[in-house]
Structures are given as structure tokens and as C-alpha cells.
Amino acid sequence: MISSTNIKSKIQKLLNPLAEAFDAAGITPNILTLLGFFLSMIAGLLIFREMFFVAGIVFLFAGACDMLDGILARAKGRVTIAGAFMDSFFDRYADFFPLAGFSLLAVGRGDFQMVTFGLLSIVGSFATSYAKARAEALGVACKVGLLERPERFILITSSLFLGFTDYMLFILAFFSNFTAFQRFFYVINVLRKRG
């Protein structure tokens, strides 16, 4: 998991000066959250149009916004419960748009195997995020899982630049659902031990 290594913190340190520049320009964390949302939507439309390389660039910027909103909020003491909720809410849409683009492209091609993998990727991504959120609401810290959001982002972005989108959807369909069930069984086990 990327989130359990030093990679994420190193990337955040690299992006700190950019976050400072955005703050100086009057750009708030919520603006970055919304910008990431719209860029993900545009990336999804570009994927549907088979403009994969351009979609990759746009999706990279969307991911940067997703990291910068949290960095800016923490650096400037603007972390709020409302902001955290807003970020998580729009993150689900940002997860959806690229995968929806692949699924709609597959429908247009009549490639129902790819449609199936696209839909499984969507539900697996959502189930992975939901499992963590629901577990935390029940008082269980749920940091397990093979393919979390950062890994999904890297996988999708790499496929857009390198052209292995069909394989990526298969990998994502399998491992995102595998991760969701990893979390399911982990949380069930913890809750059963509690009685």
C-alpha cells in the first residue's frame, strides 16, 4: 500500500511549495477539491473519446488537486470536519468518472467483457472506500488492503500513458474487489472478537 510507506509523505513535501503558492493566490482547499472533481470529469470524457494521453495529463492534475487540498488545509490550519466530508464526497465522483469513461467507451465498441470489468472496477473502488468509512464509524481502524486509492490512481494513469487500458480494467476489477473483501473480513473478524 502506498499510503503505508514514505512515498506519500515525500510527495507531500514536494508539493508543499505549490500549496503555499496557491494559498498566496487565495485558492482555498475547497476550491482545489472542486477543481479535482471537474478535472476528473473532463478526464472521463476524454477517455470516452479515446484521447487517452490527454486524459492522462488531465487526470494527473486532478490527482495533484486531490493531494494539494489536504496539504493546504493542514499547512494553513484549515482542517475542518466539513472540509473532510466534502473531500471524501467528491473523491467518490472523482473515482467514478474515469471508470465510467472506460465503461461507456466499451459499450460503444460493443465490448461487453470490458464493460463488465469497468463496472466491477467501479463497484470494487466504491466498496473499498465504503468499507473503511463504515468500519471507522463503528470504531474500527481499517488500514488493510492491497489496492487503495493511491494505487488505483497510479494504475489508471499509467494505463492512459502506456496504452494498456484493457489489462488495467481487468487488474482493477479483480484487485479492487479483492481489497474490498480483505477489508470486509478484517472488520468482521475485529467486530466478532469484540462480541
Round the CA-based radius of gyration of the chain to a whole number and report it: 17
Name the nearest CA neighbour of 61 among 36, 86, 90, 33: 36
Catalogue the active-site residues: 91
pLDDT, residue 110, reads 95
Q: Where are the alpha helices (DSSP H) in the chain?
A: 7-24, 29-48, 52-75, 81-109, 112-137, 149-162, 165-194
- Rounded distance between C-alpha atoms, residue 69 and residue 172, angstroms: 26
DSSP tag of 3: G
Q: What is the CATH number of the domain that holds 102?
A: 1.20.120.1760
Q: Could you tell me the residue range of the domain that residue 190 belongs to?
A: 2-194
Residue type, 152: R
- Rounded distance between C-alpha atoms, residue 138 and residue 167, angstroms: 36
Decide if pLDDT at 62 tops 90. Answer: yes
How many separate domains does the chain show? 1
- Rounded distance between C-alpha atoms, residue 6 and residue 95, angstroms: 23
Tens of pLDDT along 75-133? 777 788 898 899 999 999 999 999 999 999 999 999 999 999 999 999 999 999 999 99
DSSP tag of 138: T
Tens of pLDDT along 4-29? 445 667 777 777 787 778 778 888 88
For CA atoms 36, 38, 61, 27, give the dihedral sign: negative
